[in-house]
Amino acid sequence: MQKRSLVSISDYNKEEYLEILRVAAEFERNPDRDILAGKVAGVLFFEPSTRTRLSFETAVQRLGGSTIGFADASSSSVTKGETLKDTIKIVNSYVDLIIMRHPLEGSARYASEMASVPVINAGDGANQHPSQTLLDLYSIQKTQGTLENLKIFMIGDLKYGRTVHSLLMAMSYFNPTFYFISPDALQIPVEYKIFLHSRGIRFYEYPEFIDIIREADIIYMTRVQKERFSDSVEYEKNKNAYVLTNAILENTKSSVRVLHPLPRVNEIDVDVDNNPKAYYFTQALNGMYVRQAIIAKALNLTDAL
């Protein structure tokens, strides 16, 4: 069987994104299929998670497979000083697939090089979160009917927000225009601006909400991530930078949808939850179907779907 890890969103090409969206739609129609009978996934979370871990675990179980692993590295032998390399080599010998979240950027690539089974990156530090990106693409396509030529507003922590980094790379295949709204200290890193320039993708940067938001197709809110700041004063200064309210959404297009990878702290007012433009809870549900598709692809099981 061909090993097919997903470490960075650039491990897939445009056709493979579209393949994942097609297969995810199949799973949305019928999520309970026995294609993983007899298979075991190692689910290793060295960082907290609700959606990613539980949707991956549910995805495996709905496909007839089972999971082993940990939700908290403090219950593993990492606390005794075991290295990531040894942890991966051991788990690799028990399972058919590894799904891993780790705080260190590059850890997922390293794990994929140590393992003989496919590794799916469930988030590595501020670097990449490719399964989130694919569920974001799925949510964008479902709500807009297309991925092409959209105006996408990304708001909040664009420096440490790994979901933002993966999403802009994936969307670059579909001729988007990006509007980045962030405090100075949390601007999109320069390497992503260079990437967008190299692809001829238009982008604009603003320090605050702007009127042009009325033209948005997608408003992608992000949390200011306390856990990524080494300086707590800097976090306190930026944590309440933007709060999306129904008043801000009032003059936006009826077709606009608000996405957020979640968890939310206070960057989306809870009143927005009842606004038909809010899509973040359905977006999280979409994650399960998309992760079923990613797992099926990692194990070369998509042909029958």
Q: Following CA atoms 266, 269, 271, 275 in sequence, which dihedral angle do they give, to the nearest 10 degrees?
A: -120
Site string for ligand CP, 38-77 (x = CB under 6 A): -----------xxxx-------------------------
Catalytic residue flag (residue 52): yes
CA triple 86-105-39, angle to 5 deg: 50
Please, what is the minimum distance in Å from the beta carbon of residue 38 to ligand CP?
27
- Report the C-alpha gap between 285 and 10 in whole angstroms: 24
Count how many residues are written for the chain.
305
The catalytic residue among 39, 52, 62, 297 is: 52
The catalytic residue among 39, 53, 101, 165 is: 101
Q: Which is nearer to ligand CP, 134 or 201 (CB)?
A: 134
Going by C-alpha positions, the residue among 1, 77, 63, 68 that lies closest to residue 33 is: 63
The catalytic residue among 129, 162, 223, 297 is: 129
The catalytic residue among 39, 51, 102, 159 is: 51
From residue 168, give the alpha-carbon distance in Å to each of 10, 32, 122, 203, 210: 11, 32, 17, 10, 20
Going by C-alpha positions, the residue among 118, 120, 195 that lies closest to residue 164 is: 195
Catalytic residue flag (residue 165): no
Q: Does 132 bind ligand CP (CB under 6 A)?
A: yes
Catalytic residue flag (residue 151): no
Environment class of residue 274 by beta-carbon count within 10 Å: exposed (0-12), middle (13-18) or buried (19+)?
exposed
Please, what is the minimum distance in Å from the beta carbon of residue 130 to ligand CP?
11
Interacting residue with ligand CP among 141, 147, 261, 283 (CB under 6 A): 261
Q: Which is nearer to ligand CP, 6 or 201 (CB)?
A: 6
16 by DSSP, 3-state: which? Answer: helix
Q: Which is nearer to ligand CP, 69 or 123 (CB)?
A: 123
Please, what is the minimum distance in Å from the beta carbon of residue 161 to ligand CP?
10
Which residues fall within 8 angstroms of residue 91, CB to CB, at 6 or more apart? 42, 44, 68, 69, 98
Catalytic residue flag (residue 67): no
Q: Does 207 bind ligand CP (CB under 6 A)?
A: no
Residues that bind ligand CP (CB under 6 A): 49-52, 123, 132, 261-263
Q: Show which residues are catalytic.
A: 51-52, 80, 101, 129
